[in-house]
Amino acid sequence: MFTLIIAFLTLSSFAFGQEVKDILTINNAIPYFNVKPLQAQTYTISCKTKNTKGKTKPKFYSNYLEVVDHKFFKLGYSEKHEQPAWVIHLLTKEMVLEHNAKRSNKFREDYKVSTKSSLPKDYRNSGYDKGHICPSADMSFSQEAQDLTFLMSNISPQLHSFNAGKWHELEKKVREWAVENDSIIVIAGALFDSIIQTIGKKNKVSVPYRFYKVIVDVSFPSYKAIGFIMENEKLKEELFYYSVSVSELERITGFNFFPDFDDNMFINNLENNCNIKNWEDKY
């Protein structure tokens, strides 16, 4: 009887794992914006080492984004803000450990964007870095893939202290997680609920005050997810101070990840649970 129970549980886990594998894909994870503005709310960042409270009032987002497929990553381009609202890609252990590309630093217009993307000269003398949303280092396994990350459709204006600071630290940590967990989905982008200013003479590029990143471990059987929201400024707190559960990130920002699976119990658990120990034992 004991053997039969073990066999049943193993088979169930395998079947469940296969089902989950079909759900946890890049296409299913592409975020959708809520069509109604959320009410002002007080939220608790339950995934931080210390709980903190704050208020937020996400503004209305238009769902008109041009989806552009660049083979190694996909993005949703906002013509209004001249930058991506989201960029999504798969990152695996093999991709991180392979180093077949040299950083080109050749930023260029993305001709795949039908409304035309921003231009490198829009950032000239602006005081802001051309900040990657899909990091070039994530695509070091292929010269073609890395060169594509320098398309302006993958770029947002970031203060250097942020771009080279906590944002860079988070990018490095994500690559470590890809190695540790084998395969992860990474979604990142700018939040347009608070714009500092616009830059550029030809194109008016919005300077976002906040950026976000979502990481989903899609490796059987250790499925888990975590989100981060960071202000576009010099940040000094430890990395996990900026972490949130995916469901909290959705409530704060108005995004909806895995929008076709709102009623799926597995996705709800994945988005609601954010245990730092699952990601970093020392925390």
Give mean pLDDT, residues 58-67: 60
d(CA 89, CA 72): 7
Residue 30, pLDDT score: 92
Is pLDDT of 60 > 60? no
CA 65: distance to chain centroid?
Answer: 16
Degrees, nearest 5: CA angle 100-216-76: 75
d(CA 216, CA 195): 28
Report for 16-20, 45-49, 262-266: range of highest mean pLDDT: 262-266
Higher-pLDDT residue of 166 and 22 is 166
Phi, then psi, of 20 in degrees rounded to 5: -60, -40
Is pLDDT of 2 > 70? no
Residue 10, pLDDT score: 36
d(CA 99, CA 139): 9
d(CA 31, CA 255): 6
> Which tokens belong to 156?
């947002």
The interaxial angle of helices 2-23 and 265-272, nearest 10 deg, is: 80
> Which tokens belong to 72?
């190694």
Question: Residue 63's pLDDT band (boundaries 50, 70, 90)?
Answer: low
What does the pLDDT look like over 87-143, one tens digit per residue?
999 999 999 999 999 998 999 999 999 999 999 999 999 999 999 999 999 999 999
Give mean pLDDT, residues 26-52: 54
Contact 257, 189 (CB under 8 A): no
Is pLDDT of 52 > 70? no
What does the pLDDT look like over 225-242, one tens digit per residue?
999 999 999 999 999 999
What does the pLDDT look like over 183-209, one tens digit per residue?
999 999 999 989 999 999 889 999 999
Residues in the chain, overall count:
283
Contact 48, 76 (CB under 8 A): no
Domains of the chain: 2-279 (3.40.570.10)
d(CA 131, CA 134): 9
Phi, then psi, of 269 in degrees rounded to 5: -65, -40
Tell me if residue 264 falls in helix, strand or coil.
Answer: coil
Residue 59, pLDDT score: 37
Residue 283, pLDDT score: 44
Is pLDDT of 53 > 50? no
34-38, 64-68, 141-145, 202-206: the lowest-pLDDT one: 34-38
Percent pLDDT > 90 in the chain is: 72
